[in-house]
């Protein structure tokens, strides 16, 4: 099965995520369903799960075993600026 997103070892990604969070980024865990290949993004910011249920096929994936990635966002500018 080919994946739509490159996955990396779970522990390596956690270390990278922790660095980005310390720099002020907001992180969202991403993974591919091991059954249908659909890219999934967890809804909870700065939180990591070891298992995930696919929104497409409903099957469970062992994220810790299969690897993951993440999306990082950061605010730019002052939100109170007029």
pLDDT at 80: 55
Residue 58 lies in a domain: yes
* 19 part of a folded domain: yes
pTM recorded for the entire structure? 0.85
Range of the domain at 36: 10-73
Look at residue 1 in the predicted model and tell me its pLDDT: 46
In a domain, 78, yes or no: no
- How many domains does one find in the chain? 1
Residue 45's region, left for phi above 0, alpha for psi from -120 to 50, else beta, is beta
Task: Output the tens digit of pLDDT for each of the chain's 82 residues.
Answer: 445 799 999 999 999 999 999 999 999 999 999 999 999 999 999 999 999 999 999 999 999 999 999 999 998 765 555 4
Q: What pLDDT sits at residue 82? A: 47
Distance CA 52, CA 25 (A): 23
Residue 2 included in any domain: no
64 lies in a domain? yes
């Amino acid at each position: 099965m080919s994946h739509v997103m490159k996955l990396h070892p779970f522990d390596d990604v956690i270390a990278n995520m922790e660095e980005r969070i310390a720099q002020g980024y907001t992180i969202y865990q991403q993974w591919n369903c091991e059954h249908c290949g659909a890219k999934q993004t967890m809804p909870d910011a700065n939180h990591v799960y070891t298992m995930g249920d696919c929104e497409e096929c409903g099957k469970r994936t062992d994220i810790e075993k299969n690897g993951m990635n993440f999306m990082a966002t950061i605010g730019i500018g002052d939100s109170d600026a007029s």
